[in-house]
Amino acid sequence: MTSNGKESVTTAGASPTARLGFEDGQVVQEFGWDDDVDNGLREEIESAVGSQLEEDNYDGVVDSVVLWWREGDGDLFDECVDALTGLAEGGSIVVLSPVAGHPEHVDPSDIEEAAQSAGLRASTTMRAGSDWMATKLVQGGVRQR
């Protein structure tokens, strides 16, 4: 953990899925799937939790949400609020956005602003695959809208 309360992006030895908090037995819902997602990362998450990712129309309670988000996808605040609907207390949302230099890159400050407005806070930001950055959002921010 760094002095600003965020986890270090250089945690040695841990896999990206472990560093993002995915564990066996969790129910994980996926939003924003498209042909451009990192299927290898999806498979790693499924392997870590021991089951397939639930689709965006799943209406049960989930432990975590994977949200693939690109510039131009709409309003990230609205998507975060939608993702919170079925999220268990203490659950997290992992926003996966294209890396800098990609035409659909999302500025990290936009993710943090949307998260804060939805009552979430960013706890971890790290590279997740060759083309994606992961930002883990946790409950406990102060909702501002």
Q: Which of 112, 57, 105 is nearest to 80 (CA)?
A: 112
Phi, psi for 118 (deg, rounded to 5) = -90, 5
Q: Are 116 and 96 in contact (CB under 8 A)?
A: no
Q: Is 135 domain-assigned?
A: yes
- Average pLDDT over every residue of 88-99: 96
pTM greater than the 0.95 cutoff: no
Q: Is 3 domain-assigned?
A: no
- Average pLDDT over every residue of 123-141: 91
Tell me the CATH number at 34: 3.40.50.150
Beta strand pairing call for 87-98 and 132-139:
antiparallel
User: Who wins on pLDDT, 16 or 66?
Assistant: 66
Question: Does the structure show a pLDDT above 90 at 10?
Answer: no
The domain tally of the chain equals 1
Domain span including residue 21: 16-139
Whole-number average pLDDT of the chain:
89
